[in-house]
Structure 1
Amino acid sequence: MPIPSRAALVEHLVRTRIAGDVATPRDNNLSHYRQLANGNRHFWLGLELGDRWRDEQDVLAVMAERCGVNDDPEHRQGQDTIDPELTVDALDRMAARLRKAAAAGERVLLATGHPGGLLDVHRQTANALREAGCEIVRIPGGLMADEGMVFQFADVAVLERGATLWHTHSPVPMAAILDGLEREGRPRPDLVVADHGWAGCAGQRGIDSIGYADCNDPALFLGEAEGTLQVTVPLDDHVADPRYYDPMTDYLLDAAGLLPSVERA
């Protein structure tokens, strides 16, 4: 399959609803922005936002700028959007950081709180980084968090409960990994590639952190705006078929110089 051009990727993102008119409804987005502004830490995704985002209209303004949601505060029901051009812009920024990691042979940790959607995106990224000379960080064994076990599946850290990979926004699993590495006297990652609280926790601890976020998860976009995260890519993080992300991943890894030269669409 050829690597998509920017225009072809934008078309694909809109057609598959990874961006464009996404499935997340407007009222859900606004509810999450309000919860974050009201200090509900579940929506802070491991970041320490203090009192800086107490006005939900300020949160909406950042989300309109960095994600492409409708900026009209009176639009409260119905459809909301992710701007596919902003998605590709963020993928280009992410690619630049991955290129830097590969050039330096950095230690990289990959993790997901959305295994149903993004696990294979992270797995493919891990494979490409390893082939480029990066060290994919192996997490300590026996880690527990949020009544589950933290382990690596296909080089990606995940939370497991009852033999099921768990969808979680919690920063606690990433904190367990970083604390476990410290206990073992091992260096922390140079770079974390993740989503949800996994990315937020790493960024809050001062580790270079890049990742993905949906339009109803504003914290990582605020983290990027404040410089706590380096890159946040806006997308629907669980579309109908996880294979829909493959062209996006190919574009990302090609832009990072982590794929061999192949035909482009």
Structure 2
Amino acid sequence: MGSMPIPSRAALIEHLVRTRIAGEVATARENNLSHYRKLSRGDRHHWFGLELAERWSEELDVLAVMVERCGVNADPDHRRGQDTIDPELTVAGLQRMAARLRKAAAGRERVLLATGHPGGLLDVHRATAAALRAAGCEIVVVPGGLGADEGRVVQFADVAVLERGATLWHTHSPEPMAAILDGLLREGRPAPDLVVADHGWAGCAGQRGVDAVGYADCNDPALFIGEAEGTVEVAVPLDDHVPDPRSYDLMTAFLLAEAGLAA
């Protein structure tokens, strides 16, 4: 990230909309509704390792929480075309996450960072790990030799990822996080105090009782439902894979400044 300037709230919102991290995002409405429907019908691929309550068995209830927490279009008859993420909700989520990071730094907590979206969010997590380490936190070292989903769980730039065939893998699966938490237990090491992640990495951690904060796209409702149920502490709404990952740098600078972790 280098010496990225810290934006004002208004400047960050303008940037989020211009880069389509929020606002009119690239994820199509039909894709969003398809995922909401699959989650409501019990498709565990879309549960991200969470055990969701029966109340989410109706697609309209899933849509309602996504309107509230992500800012998608509220009209249930809007079935195709453009959908949205409210940039105000993105910034509010970043501020809630920053408050939890500030607490972690104050307590010099053990923090694990992980991503199922290495093509988009790897550097966001890497920069967060570096700032937390500089503040005195312990960045949890993943046990060696862990496998999950026909791949290896490794750490790259202090961020846990799934690797297959020398490629960092995009995954929604909770299994890599389960492998880490089980591996720590086998080694007699404590679980993290905090997990900063996305996808099933965050969902699994929250379900296991670890404080979990993370990022989620408008077609990934599970973490927002987890936040509504109190299993996930914070879910920040954003497009989690815009074309240029450097677009997230300004957002990361804002997050770390809000957490009192800016260099």
Q: TM-score range, shorter-chain basis?
A: over 0.9
Q: Is 1:93 aligned to 2:96, yes or no?
A: yes
Q: Secondary structure at the match of 1:168?
A: coil
Please give the alpha-carbon distance, in whole angstroms, between the structure 2 residues aligned to 1:50 and 1:43: 14
Match of residue 78 from structure 1: 81
Q: 1:251 aligns with which of 237, 251, 254?
A: 254
The offset of 1:52, in angstroms, is 2.5
Q: 1:205 aligns with which of 194, 205, 208?
A: 208
Q: Secondary structure at the match of 2:196?
A: strand
Match of residue 236 from structure 1: 239
| Residues 103-182 of structure 1 aligned to structure 2 (within 5 Å) | 103-182=106-185
- Which residues of structure 1 form unaligned runs of 5+? 261-265
Q: Secondary structure at the match of 1:175?
A: helix
TM-score (norm 1): 0.98
Q: Is 1:5 aligned to 2:8, yes or no?
A: yes
User: Which digits, 9 at most, give the CA deviation of each residue in 1:148-192, with x for residues without a partner?
Assistant: 000100000000000000000000000000000000000000000
Q: Secondary structure at the match of 2:81?
A: coil
| Residues 212-227 of structure 1 aligned to structure 2 (within 5 Å) | 212-227=215-230
Q: 1:31 aligns with which of 26, 29, 34?
A: 34
Please give the alpha-carbon distance, in whole angstroms, between the structure 1 residues aligned to 2:98 and 2:56: 29
Match of residue 263 from structure 1: none
Q: Is 1:51 aligned to 2:54, yes or no?
A: yes
Please give the alpha-carbon distance, in whole angstroms, between the structure 2 residues aligned to 1:227 and 1:63: 15
Please give the alpha-carbon distance, in whole angstroms, between the structure 1 residues aligned to 2:216 and 2:206: 14
Please give the alpha-carbon distance, in whole angstroms, between the structure 1 residues aligned to 2:176 and 2:55: 26
Q: Secondary structure at the match of 2:111?
A: strand
Quick one: which amino acid aligns to residue 245 of structure 1?
Y
Q: Secondary structure at the match of 1:52?
A: helix
Match of residue 72 from structure 2: 69
Please give the alpha-carbon distance, in whole angstroms, between the structure 2 residues aligned to 1:247 and 1:139: 28
Quick one: which amino acid aligns to residue 111 of structure 1?
A
Q: Is 1:18 aligned to 2:21, yes or no?
A: yes
The offset of 1:2, in angstroms, is 1.9
The offset of 1:50, in angstroms, is 4.0
Quick one: which amino acid aligns to residue 212 of structure 1?
Y
| Aligned alpha-carbon RMSD (Å) | 0.5
Q: Secondary structure at the match of 1:159?
A: strand
Match of residue 196 from structure 2: 193
Please give the alpha-carbon distance, in whole angstroms, between the structure 1 residues aligned to 2:174 and 2:54: 20
List 4+ stretches of structure 1 deviating above 4 A.
Answer: none
- Which residues of structure 2 form unaligned runs of 5+? none
Quick one: which amino acid aligns to residue 112 of structure 2?
L
The offset of 1:77, in angstroms, is 0.4
Q: 2:44 aligns with which of 41, 44, 49?
A: 41
Q: Secondary structure at the match of 2:56?
A: coil
User: Which digits, 9 at most, give the CA deviation of each residue in 1:49-82, with x for residues without a partner?
Assistant: 1422100100000000000000110000000000
Please give the alpha-carbon distance, in whole angstroms, between the structure 2 residues aligned to 1:99 and 1:216: 29
Q: Secondary structure at the match of 1:194?
A: strand
- May I ask how many residue pairs the two structures share in their alignment? 260
TM-score (norm 2): 0.98
Quick one: which amino acid aligns to residue 49 of structure 1?
L
